Amino acid sequence: MRVSLRGAGVVLGLLAGLVPVTSARAAGPTWAEPLPLERHFDNRAVSADDRPGEADFDGSGASLSAQDLAAAGWTPGRALTVQGARLTWPERQAGEPDNVRAAGQDVRVGGRGDALAFLVAGTAGEQVSGTGTVAYADGSRSPYRLTASDWRGGPLATKAVAPHINTPDGQLTERARLYVVTVPLLPGRRVVSVRLPHARDLHVFALSVRALTSGWTGSWAAATSGYAAVGPWSDRTLRLVVHTSAGGPRVRLRFDNTFASGPVRIGGATVAVQAEGASARDLPVALSFRGAAGVEIPAGAQAFSDPLDFSVPADTSLLVSFHLPETVAAAPLHRLAAQRSYVSEPGDHTADGSPAAYTSVLTSWPLLTGVDVGGGPGSVVLLGDSITDGDRSTVDANRRWPNALATRLLNQDAVPPYGVLNQGISANRVVTDRYPGDGVSTDTGGVSALNRFDRDVLAQTSARTAVVFEGVNDVRWGASAEQVITGLRELAARGHARGLRMLAATILPCEGEARCTAAVDAERAAVNTWIRESGAFDAVLDFDGVVRDPGRPARMLPEYDSGDHLHPGDAGLAALAESVDLELL
């Protein structure tokens, strides 16, 4: 069952960090000869801890700790991959100019891609933003709006790294924030330069064109839900079990060190098709990272393995094994895997086909966030909470509704067999962060859909359509329908501004669960009415209508209820997937 609506069309107004781009031939003010960004550096942001006076980032004498940045893996001249964009931390020593205050400078930058990525921070005490212009090789231009959160008061939930703050009076316990922000580019055109905004309290450390992910389809993904204590693991191999959607002749993996304060080293990694448990069907095949067997991933960054000729079957479980040679006591992870994975006895057991060394069971997915396959038609991203995550589905059976949707796509020929990327996080909300965004925490409900949208949707491999299926946790914990609607409207607009097809699913009924009072149901119903009638999304999946009891519309049908009245069981999840009109994707 579904309701189809016409899309919202052109997004009006300038959103934070986003603007719908339009082409225009060169006109207006004459452009200066563009220079590399480092030639524009006019501000000192980083100081050594024993010489805090050598930098003054914000005009008050405060600066970033060089020692903290180095400890995080952010060393001068190092290339870092964040949100799929490769950015270089300025090759400057502490006390040297290392960033530019945006004042309309023309910066030389080249490449084709889907977005322009900036490493930025604001020093105004609040968000600071301004408009700039991208110039292309064919003479066209496109505008963008760049928004930087404040380096001391902005959200930790979206920061890339957070060193301590140095002052002339000593180091503060307070943590700074640096952010990676992306803005859209005109498709298919080669960038030659960028004019920065006029916003003197907006500081730019690096920028680059995020390359397109053409030639790849996202087959599996998991969203980082928090940063939690683990193990500790020292000289151990993790063997994670993940289930593909699309298949292909090549594979690459993505590891994310999201929310971390220090780097993590992967000594080596392999991939194999699962036979059973931790046993591989054939001997695992080694992966490489820029030609090396392993990789160190700086805090807040990610690493992609090199493309590997390896036939990845569709709708099949893989074993992804990686060795952690150093002690790991906390790690970014996806907590609710609904899947058993494995931890080895000491040693590098990545090449083992046998399960003998894997003596411990793991029920989360640490560090690994993506499996891409070569070729394919692109991916559909499902942004959701525990119902999408698979809470109450049968463990090890891959009966989450995204799995059932992927199987349907593979067993038809009316539309392409898109990859399906499950970005559900149990306990997640649209407008409120659960995980605070920094440090070790027992709360693994993730940061809000608004704060993770760029990472978990816009930066996903070959994303073409996104489905937003969230809101029940917001209203259950006191958010108003108006607050949820405002958040959903922003998500739709941000996706449309990047050229994504945006769908929304109505919120399921949950009468009988302790927090699902009549007042909560009224808020839920108001959100659903808006979803169905607003036209903010390109189409609506009426999941509420699929599972509700016609005689008691605030309650789920018993045959679909897992027993807790909030989460559908296997039958209910299958019904959700079966109800999707595949042509809407």
Has residue 24 been placed in a domain? no
If asked whether residues 252 and 139 sit together in one domain, one would say: no
For the chain, the first-to-last Cα distance in angstroms comes to 14
Has residue 22 been placed in a domain? no
Domain end call among 356, 374, 392: 374
- What pLDDT does 32 receive? 74
Has residue 18 been placed in a domain? no
Tokens of 539: 């189409």
Structural domain boundaries, residue 317: 223-374
**Order of strands, edge to edge, in the sheet holding 63-65?**
46-47, 63-65, 164-167, 170-175
Has residue 14 been placed in a domain? no
Q: Indicate the pLDDT class of residue 6, thresholds 50, 70 and 90.
A: very low
In this predicted model, what pLDDT tens digit does every residue of 402-423 receive, in sequence order? 999 999 999 999 999 999 999 9
If asked whether residues 175 and 43 sit together in one domain, one would say: yes
Count how many domains the chain has. 3
CATH assignment of the domain containing 413: 3.40.50.1110
Has residue 25 been placed in a domain? no
Element holding 144 (H helix, E strand)? strand 140-148
Distance, in Å, from the CA atom of 525 to the CA atom of 472, rounded to the nearest integer, reads 10
User: For a pLDDT cut of 90, what percent of the chain falls above it?
Assistant: 94
Has residue 274 been placed in a domain? yes
What does the DSSP assignment read for 60-129?
SS-EEEHHHHHHTT--TT-EEEETTEEEE-----TTS--BEEEES-EEEEEE-EEEEEEEEEE-SSS-EE
State how far the alpha carbon of 115 is from the alpha carbons of 180, 212, 320, in Å.
12, 8, 30
What does the DSSP assignment read for 307-335?
PEEEEE-TT-EEEEEEEE-S-EEEEEEES
Has residue 18 got a pLDDT over 70?
no
Identify which has the larger pLDDT, 30 or 389.
389
Mean predicted confidence (pLDDT) in 41-59: 97
Nearest to 37, CA basis, from 220, 205, 190:
205
In this predicted model, what pLDDT tens digit does every residue of 329-386 receive, in sequence order? 999 999 999 999 999 999 999 999 999 999 999 999 999 999 999 999 999 999 999 9
Q: Where are any strands of DSSP class E within 307-460?
A: 308-312, 317-324, 328-334, 341-344, 358-362, 365-366, 368-374, 379-384, 419-424
- SS3 at position 33: coil
Mean predicted confidence (pLDDT) in 240-265: 98
Nearest to 39, CA basis, from 88, 108, 119:
108
**What is the b/e burial string over 266-298, where b = at least 16 CB atoms within 10 angstroms of the residue's CB?**
bbbbbbbbbeebbbbbeebbebebeeeebbbbb
Nearest to 72, CA basis, from 255, 295, 303, 298:
298
Q: Indicate the pLDDT class of residue 214, thresholds 50, 70 and 90.
A: confident
Distance, in Å, from the CA atom of 193 to the CA atom of 114, rounded to the nearest integer, reads 15
If asked whether residues 122 and 154 sit together in one domain, one would say: yes
Mean predicted confidence (pLDDT) in 150-163: 97
Answer yes or no: are the C-beta atoms of 547 and 555 closer than 8 Å. no
If asked whether residues 160 and 245 sit together in one domain, one would say: no
Nearest to 287, CA basis, from 310, 266, 306, 265:
306
If asked whether residues 1 and 37 sit together in one domain, one would say: no
If asked whether residues 173 and 53 sit together in one domain, one would say: yes
If asked whether residues 52 and 102 sit together in one domain, one would say: yes
Return phi, psi of residue 203, to 5°.
-105, 135
> Is the Cα torsion angle 477, 482, 488, 493 positive or negative in sign?
negative
Has residue 4 got a pLDDT over 60?
no
- What pLDDT does 29 receive? 54
Q: Indicate the pLDDT class of residue 160, thresholds 50, 70 and 90.
A: very high
Domain end call among 148, 177, 211: 211
Has residue 428 got a pLDDT over 50?
yes
If asked whether residues 198 and 228 sit together in one domain, one would say: no
Mean predicted confidence (pLDDT) in 506-530: 98
Give 170's DSSP letter: E
Has residue 370 been placed in a domain? yes
If asked whether residues 202 and 57 sit together in one domain, one would say: yes
Distance, in Å, from the CA atom of 224 to the CA atom of 300, rounded to the nearest integer, reads 11
In this predicted model, what pLDDT tens digit does every residue of 460-497 receive, in sequence order? 999 999 999 999 999 999 999 999 999 999 999 999 99
- Categorise residue 44: left if φ over 0, alpha if ψ from -120 to 50, beta otherwise: beta
Has residue 122 got a pLDDT over 90?
yes
Mean predicted confidence (pLDDT) in 302-315: 98
Return phi, psi of residue 92, to 5°.
-135, 145
Domain end call among 345, 374, 403: 374
If asked whether residues 561 and 457 sit together in one domain, one would say: yes
Q: Indicate the pLDDT class of residue 321, thresholds 50, 70 and 90.
A: very high
If asked whether residues 539 and 569 sit together in one domain, one would say: yes
Has residue 102 been placed in a domain? yes
Distance, in Å, from the CA atom of 353 to the CA atom of 356, rounded to the nearest integer, reads 9
Mean predicted confidence (pLDDT) in 258-267: 98
If asked whether residues 174 and 87 sit together in one domain, one would say: yes
Least confident range of 21-30, 215-224, 426-435, 502-511: 21-30
Nearest to 29, CA basis, from 109, 118, 104, 115:
104
Nearest to 408, CA basis, from 574, 218, 220:
574
- What pLDDT does 58 receive? 97
